[in-house]
């Protein structure tokens, strides 16, 4: 399989999503294969940034992996697209109305089934991200299987949509140092998130007021916000949340 070089100019206006500057990378030269479940945690620093996201970003800078953006004036919206639940069109409508862009992380099944929505994402200026062909946990795969999980979806999207993805989000929120190395070797940057809340359980959605309060209270510079498009609450509150972020002085 042909592998591409690391892409440049990933989010020009956000100066790329890499590490908090001035901190050394702490991973070992012999990459660990231990499976780790990522989570930003609840403790925050003086800038309201979750400690877990800050530490992850500092630790894995040299592996092109981050949970925060360096752009402290910006909040980056990301959506994980595992399956369609009827709300993505409304989310796209709101993003268009608010003149905001997002990164949509596609699984292979979504990329194959939802052609019209994927084409709309591209046409309206959003970014597509790679969430794995089968949404398999990379640390639980062999090196060859992990490469196939990443690159088979990469090639499918490139061949069918003419779009070259540049960011990878680890399925199941699970990673290892070796998995991050493999993602980098495939020419990708790894993006986790600095805030997420439980929005993916479709039969137990948070109330709109609760969602707005959580998302607004958690806002911080450089935030990478993880949302799920299967959430009816997210589709309902997205416009107000964007307005709140902008009222706080952030670019979305």
- DSSP 8-state class, residue 214: H
Give the residue carrying structure tokens 């948070």.
206
* Helix orientation angle between 143-161 and 177-185, rounded to the nearest 10 degrees: 40
Which residue carries 């794995």 as its tokens?
132
Which neighbouring-strand residues pair with 37?
A: 174
Contact by Cβ (8 Å): 126, 101: yes
Residue 199 annotated among the catalytic residues of the structure? no
The CB-side HSE value for 6 (13 A sphere, CA atoms) comes to: 14
Catalytic residue among 80, 131, 135, 199: 80
Catalytic residue list contains 220: no
Do 190 and 63 form a contact (C-beta atoms < 8 A)? yes
Catalytic residue among 126, 154, 220, 228: 228
Contact 157, 188 (CB under 8 A): no
Q: What 3-state DSSP class applies to 63?
A: helix
Residues noted as catalytic:
80, 228
């Amino acid at each position: 399989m042909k592998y591409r070089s690391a892409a440049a100019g990933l989010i020009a206006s956000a100066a790329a999503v890499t590490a908090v500057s001035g901190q050394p990378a702490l991973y070992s030269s012999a990459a660990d294969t231990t499976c780790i479940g990522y989570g930003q945690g609840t403790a925050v620093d003086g800038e309201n940034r979750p400690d877990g996201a800050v530490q992850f970003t500092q630790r894995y800078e040299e592996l092109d992996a981050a949970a925060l953006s360096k752009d402290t004036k910006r909040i980056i919206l990301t959506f994980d697209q595992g399956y369609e639940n009827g709300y993505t069109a409304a989310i796209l409508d709101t993003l268009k109305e608010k003149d905001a862009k997002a990164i949509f992380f596609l699984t292979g099944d979504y990329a194959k089934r939802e052609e019209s929505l994927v084409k709309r994402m591209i046409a309206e200026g959003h970014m597509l991200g790679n969430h794995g062909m089968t949404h398999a946990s990379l640390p639980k795969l062999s090196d060859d299987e992990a490469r196939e999980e990443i690159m088979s979806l990469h090639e499918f999207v490139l061949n069918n949509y003419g779009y070259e993805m540049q960011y990878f989000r680890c399925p199941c929120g699970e990673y290892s140092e070796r998995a991050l190395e493999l993602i980098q070797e495939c020419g990708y940057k790894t993006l986790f998130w600095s805030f997420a809340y439980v929005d993916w359980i479709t039969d137990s959605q948070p109330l709109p007021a609760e969602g707005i309060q959580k998302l607004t209270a958690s806002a911080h510079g450089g935030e990478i916000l993880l949302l799920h498009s299967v959430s009816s609450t997210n589709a309902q509150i997205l416009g107000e949340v964007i307005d709140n972020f902008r009222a706080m002085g952030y670019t979305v």
